[in-house]
Structure 1
Amino acid sequence: MFLWRLPVKAYVLSVCSCLVLAYGDDDIEVKYRETFYNEITEEDTPTPCNAPDLTKWDKIFSMLENSQMRENMLLQYADDIIKVEIGSLRAEMLRLYGGSCGVAVETAGRRMVLQLESRLRESLDRLKLRDQTSARYSVGNSNHLEAMLQQLFSAVQTQSSQLAKLEASCEMALLFPMRSRRIFTTIIPDVPLSLSSFTVCMWVKPTVISNKTVLLSYGNRRNPFEIQLLLGRTSALLTIGGEAHLVEARNVVKSGGTLEWVHLCGSWSSEQGLATLWAGGRKVSTTPGVAEGHVLPDGGSLQLGQERNGCCPLTQRFDPKLAFAGKMTGVNMWSRVLSAEEISQLATREGQGCAQRGNIVAWGVTEMVPHGGAQFIN
């Protein structure tokens, strides 16, 4: 068997040696493509970029940005840890104490409900006893309460009717809404004012009173102060023929104005020079020797709520500091001196004072022209 395999091996060995010799004699040529595709050209070495030096502000902003990023990371990390820890702690607490706490809360709630029910029953029992006791006296007390309510209702009706109506049964009033040089009322009398005596009366309700507030004024270019009926703080004043002839009555109105109507009258007689002021139907001041022998000139201007200054044009002749603000009604003027009884009747609030009209100025009859914001109201 061995002898048979030996020739086979020798044959294979000879064949391999022939093949090796054949390849060793021939050269194998490898053809390449154009070589310029693989050539690497040498270029100049580029100059490295020179970054500009960071300024102080760039460094500060970089530091702030880095610190902000670190802070955000720490906050997020702490938040995650806290959430996880709290969740685990809550689960642990519920697991450990859930059963016992629930029982304790339920027991406490039941006790509170029982206590509230018992207290409510006690309160209801007390209320029932009080109702039974008060029912005995309810009949008598109800009649008494009804009578008291009726009295209060009638008093309220009386007060409201008094507030709604004007004084002395007057049907209208003059409203001066504010102090202004443009707000006043001109009176155009039917007869001349060449007078040697007079009485002027009116109801006034001032909103505010300054050192000098003009109620009524009469004058001409020569003398703008022939007649002036004024208010000054708490006083009433009357001047005839100029400010030198002055009659004053103190404590006639409240300081800073009044919320009530006040009846004022001023009278004067040239024969004796006697000037008198009346407030609320009472004589409050009398001064003799006031413009004795003087006669009021005709052709002047009679007006309410302002003082005329004859030296200046119409737009500049008035002073807003002297203007009247409030309400007026029952303005009347006579060419004689009224008696004390007549003035007392005019000052009666529930009387018919507005029905007694003057012969020089008659309220509701004589023409009165409001200017600016002055107006008649009911």
Structure 2
Amino acid sequence: MQRETNVHRMYAPGAVLALCLPCFLTGIVFSYEYGEDYSDSYYNEISNGDRVQSEGTQIPCPPQDLSRWDKLFIMLEDSQMKQNMLHWQTEDMVKKEMDSIRKDLHKLNNNKACVQASENTCKCISEQMNRNIKQVMEQLREAADSHQAQNNETLQQLIQLSRHQASRLAKLELGAGLGQVAVKSFSVYPKEQEASSADGGKLERALMAATADLQRVHAQLALFQRATVNRYLPSGCEMALLFPMRSKHIFAEVTPSMSMSLQTFTLCLWAKVTQALNKTVLFSYGSKINPQELQLLLSGRSLLLKVGGDTGLVEALGVVTDGQWGHFCATWSSKQGLADLWVNGESVARVSGVAEGHELPSDGFILLGQEISRSGIYRDLVSTVVFTGKMTGVNMWDHVLEAERIKEYANQDGSCDSRGNVIGWGISEIVPNGGAQYIN
């Protein structure tokens, strides 16, 4: 047994088969005697094909020298064995990982109930929070109502106290005029007199403070009213004409309430121009003979009046501001040719000899925001003279108004209440065309 063990240590199974195969082929039958000293006397080493054997011991079937092919076979068998071992080890690792994943999935599946329970808990918490918020809102609303009621009650008490103090102050003033006898009677009660004087002083200071507050509120209201007028419509005017863009098709036609055969007139209107170009038409009256018989124009920051054509011209420089409401008036008399321009109730230009002795024709057409073309055909209108912005309070009289009346009409409070007899805002027919429209 000791000898077999030594042989297996020195040779692989394939090598033993390769050594013993020639013996079987040659018919040699080998029988071994195993002794205790065989392992000590026999030693074999493979080195470059040489064979080394200890002396005094012979093997019945001596092994042959290993060739390169035998060595290759041995190496292949060793590598196959190592490959099998690696394969078994890999399978064990994969099996362990699969078992671990299976356990995790099982735990996750068992935790679904916990997730559902968490969702239900969150839902319950959300509903409870909503109920709490509603309760808090109701409590705040009740507290606000209670606070308002307390404020009202306090205000009523202050009003009653103020009335009481006012009556006492009146009595004190009345008693002060009774003369020396009243003074003596009051001196009998010095403490009451001092208390009344102190109360009167407090009331006087309170009244002075209230008066100052009222003055500040009045100033703020006036400022707010002016800002509102500049931003919206002049006070008293319920509607206005809007000219949204510069287009030759956007204008308004006016049908006067009486004949335009005039030798004197006063024309007034409110206008808020978006941007005034070199020639921007506010009011234009023309006939087939003279399309520009009467015109009220803007040119940049200037206001112009034309009567009877280009020869009769009145101009006021630097009186127009884009984006702000302005009250513009023009008066003319044929007797002396006297023409005036007014802006916001102030006279800004006065010229004599303008179309003296002239009379306006009666067969013309009135346009707002546009002028009649030279040919008298609508398709020949141009967009360079179109008014863009808002216009309201268009009125015309057949006589020259006094300066006080013009200043009154330029007031932003109730300026649309008075209407002209030739053209009356809200009475005469004014029809918008194109994109022009009425706004409130």
TM-score for the superposition, normalised by structure 2: 0.49
Partner of 1:276: 340
Which deviations, in whole Å up to 9, do the C-alpha atoms of 1:99-132 show, x marking residues without a partner? xxxxxxxxxxxxxxxxxxxxxxxxxxxxxxxxxx
Would the alpha carbon gap of residues 359 and 151 (structure 1) be closer, same or farther in structure 2, given more than 3 Å must change?
closer
Higher relative contact order (CA 8 A, sep 6+): 1
Calculate the aligned-residue CA RMSD, in Å: 2.3
For residues 332 and 220 of structure 2, the distance between their equivalents in structure 1, rounded to whole angstroms, comes to 44
| 1:332-356 per-position Cα deviation (integer Å, ceiling 9, x unaligned) | 0000001100000010112x22111
Task: Give the whole-Å Cα distance in 2 for the aligned partners of 1:315 and 1:166.
Answer: 32
Within-5 A mapping of 1:1-378 = 158=225, 162=229, 166-254=233-321, 258-316=322-380, 318-350=381-413, 352-378=414-440
CA contact (8 A) 2:334 2:357 kept: yes
Q: Is the 8 A contact 1:204 1:264 kept in 2?
A: yes
Q: In 2, distance between residues paired with 1:237 and 1:159?
A: 26
- Unaligned residue ranges in structure 1 (runs of 5+): 1-146
Question: Distance in 2 between the 1:299 and 1:214 partners?
Answer: 20
CA shift, 1:310, in A, is 3.9
Q: Is the 8 A contact 1:220 1:310 kept in 2?
A: no
Change (3 A) 1:164 1:234: closer
- Asked if the contact 2:256/2:423 (under 8 Å) is kept, the reply is yes
Residue deviations 1:233-258 (CA, integer Å, cap 9, x gap) = 1100000000111000001113xxx2
Structure-1 separation of matches of 2:227 and 2:340? 35
Aligned-partner residue type, residue 227 of structure 1: L
> Residue 371 of structure 1: CA displacement?
0.3
In 1, Cα distance between the equivalents of 2:265 and 2:400?
6
CA 1:313 to 1:342, structure 2 compared with 1: closer, same or farther past 3 Å?
Answer: same
Q: What is the Cα deviation at residue 211 of structure 1?
A: 0.4
Residues in 2 aligned to 1:160 and 1:302: alpha-carbon distance in whole angstroms: 32
Secondary structure of residue in 2 paired with 1:214: strand
Cα offset, 1:314, TM superposition: 1.6
C-alpha displacement of 1:315: 1.4
Displacement of 1:162 after TM fit? 4.3
Q: 1:363 to 1:312 in 2, by over 3 A?
A: closer
SS class of match (2:262) = coil
- 1:218–1:300 Cα contact (<8 Å) kept: yes
Q: Is the 8 A contact 2:257 2:424 kept in 1?
A: no
Q: Structure 1 residue 190: deviation in Å?
A: 2.1
Q: Secondary structure at the match of 2:384?
A: helix
Aligned length: 227
More helix by share: 2
Structure 2 unpaired stretches of 5+: 1-212
Q: Residues 345-368 of structure 1: CA distance to partner in whole angstroms, max 9, x if unpaired? A: 010112x22111000000011000
Check the 8 A contact 1:200/1:332 in 2, yes or no.
yes
Question: What SS does the corresponding residue of 1:308 show, helix, strand or coil?
Answer: coil
After TM superposition, the runs of 4+ consecutive aligned structure 1 residues lying more than 2 A away are 150-165
